[in-house]
Structure 1
Amino acid sequence: MANCHEMHIGDVFYCDKCGLTLKVEKACTCKPGETGACTVPLSCCEQEMKKK
């Protein structure tokens, strides 16, 4: 699962279906449950992206 608060600089995430690849260059600073925090896992092609 690719939740932004668990991502670290240098992590790479990919989509099995289309091949999209994303590299984290700046870590997220939000904390789960706080106002304005990210609420969904990173997804592409209607499925969650996986960490390489």
Structure 2
Amino acid sequence: MTFRQRLYVREPKLWSVDEPNLYYCYSKIHVDDKVVVEDRNHFGIRKLQYF
């Protein structure tokens, strides 16, 4: 089984050693209206690339 998630960050600030900007992502998986998995992750953005 594969799950995909899109994440949008408005006006993202890049992460660096001098400016460690971090963001949080909260994820939940529901099955039959019941939360079966719930998780919180933090991350930094090192590079942005537009296609």
TM range (shorter): under 0.3
TM-score normalised by L of structure 1? 0.24
Which of the pair is proportionally richer in strand? 2
Q: Tell me which structure has the larger Cα radius of gyration.
A: 2
Question: How high is the TM-score relative to the length of structure 2?
Answer: 0.25
